[in-house]
Amino acid sequence: MAPSATLPGLEPEYVEFHAGKGKLKRAVLKGDHKKATFASIPAVDFAQMWSDSLNDRKEVALHVGKAFREVGFLYAVNHGISEDIQARTFAVTKEFFELPLEEKMKIHLNKSPAIKGYEALLETRLDDTTRGDNKEAINFSDDPYDPDHGCPPDFDKSYYPPGPGPINQWPQKPSNFRSIMNEYRTAMSDFARRLVRIIALSLDLDETYFDYMLEFPMAGLRPLHYPPQEASTDVGIGAHNDYSWFTCVWQMTPTPALEVLNSNAEWISAPPIPNTLVVNIGDFLERATNDVFVSTVHRVVNKTGDERYSLAYFFTPSHNVMLETVPTCWSFDRPKRYEDVNAGKWQRERLYRARYKHPASIAAKQAGEI
């Protein structure tokens, strides 16, 4: 969204956020200037997503489409990820983050040409009025060389650095971390592939319209740990848009901290609801839908005094597809706003810009690639 001009009679008050091409700001609208926008995050029941009846799936799509058009966020109820997988995933996540820093730094992402691995507290700074993002994380991606990730044997792997060889850096401790994360990843991948079909229905397309993009999607997992804030000016993650197609966040602890920005630049709380996923649209799907679906700004502010853990799953199509504007999202009255784009190129540019201090990003900048 473009920066808003100051409106007459309004204090020039803005919320700044990190978007793909840098920093943007949104005017805080008050009184008569307020727009119709959301004040809460809708919940959608996904139980019928697995139904054999197309009508049942269309019913889910109706609610999903409304939420993605109006809010860009929803709570997915009955998402199908078992409580057993959740409990084991939470246990290994907590165990990893409780290790001494020295142990965690063994898999720091600067050691990985693919920019995967551990990032420490305050290492990123999405909001430069703060001392940094008060969170630590590990970034994993779906890896065509990982036998557990199900890549088709003849898939073009040229996109994946440094080739041939594994993309991810897995911690040695806890020893069952990798197998449990991969189990969670498989469950999320099933959910995401189904959701892609629901999204097709919600855009009045044939259910299988996007299937050609799903040969080996550029999906990734990101376990996150947010310690309690030390200063009132701290943030867990500064305001930003995601660059995925969509993101599914499991808020692992009952710590309210996630906030979503509406069109009036008010922060709307998205507190954890047990057994739900928070699903939000990223910039890439906003672009593919000609802005019909909205990629909504969000941030994490952990003021509770408690530890917070979450697990984000980012979903983006296979690297080798050209993404065109979805045919039902443009017309004579709503011309195409964006060029077609190669999915891998888009993803890599955004990753390099987000990780601008990484050696691979510096090299790409020097080579004029970004």
Tell me, what amino acid is at 286?
E
Tell me if 300 contacts ligand AKG by CB under 6 A. Answer: yes
Beta carbon nearer to Fe ion, 242 or 349: 242
Q: Which of 249/268 has CB closer to ligand AKG? A: 249
If contact means CB under 5 to 8 A according to the sort of partner, which of ligand AKG, Fe ion, none does residue 268 touch? none
Q: Which one of residues 16, 242, 259, 286 is an interface residue with ligand AKG (CB under 6 A)? A: 242
Closest residue to ligand AKG in the complex (CB): 310
Burial group, residue 45, by CB count within 10 angstroms (0-12, 13-18, 19+)? middle
Q: Is 221 in the site for ligand AKG (CB under 6 A)?
A: no
331: CB partners within 8 A, 6+ apart: none
The answer to whether the peptide bond before residue 162 is cis (omega within 30 degrees of 0) is: yes
Task: Give the Cα separation of 25 and 13 in Å (integer).
Answer: 10
Residue 298 or 350: which CB sits closer to ligand AKG? Answer: 298
Site mask, Fe ion, residues 218-257, x = CB under 5 A? Answer: ------------------------x---------------
Separation between Cα atoms, residue 194 and residue 196, nearest integer Å: 5
Supply the Cα-derived Rg of the chain in whole angstroms. 20
Minimum CB separation of residue 222 from Fe ion in Å reads 9
Contact flag: residue 198 with ligand AKG (CB under 6 A): no
- Binding flag, residue 143, Fe ion (CB under 5 A): no
Number of H helices and E strands in the chain, helices first, is 7, 16
Phi-psi region of 242 (alpha: psi -120 to 50; beta: other; left: phi over 0): beta
Binds 310: which of ligand AKG, Fe ion, none (CB < 5-8 Å by kind): ligand AKG
DSSP state of 105: G
Nearer to Fe ion, 242 or 259 (CB): 242
Written as one letter, the residue type at 301 is V
Contacts of 75 (CB under 8 A, 6+ apart): 41, 42, 43, 44, 270, 273, 276, 277, 278, 279
Measured from the CB atom, is 200 or 237 closer to ligand AKG?
Answer: 237
Question: How far is the C-alpha of 102 from the C-alpha of 100, rounded, in Å?
Answer: 5
Verify binding: residue 237, ligand AKG, rule CB under 6 A. Answer: yes
Does position 136 interact with ligand AKG (CB under 6 A)? The reply is no
Write out the residues near Fe ion by the rule CB under 5 A: 242
- For ligand AKG, the binding residues (CB under 6 A) are 222, 224, 237, 242, 249, 251, 258, 298, 300, 310, 312
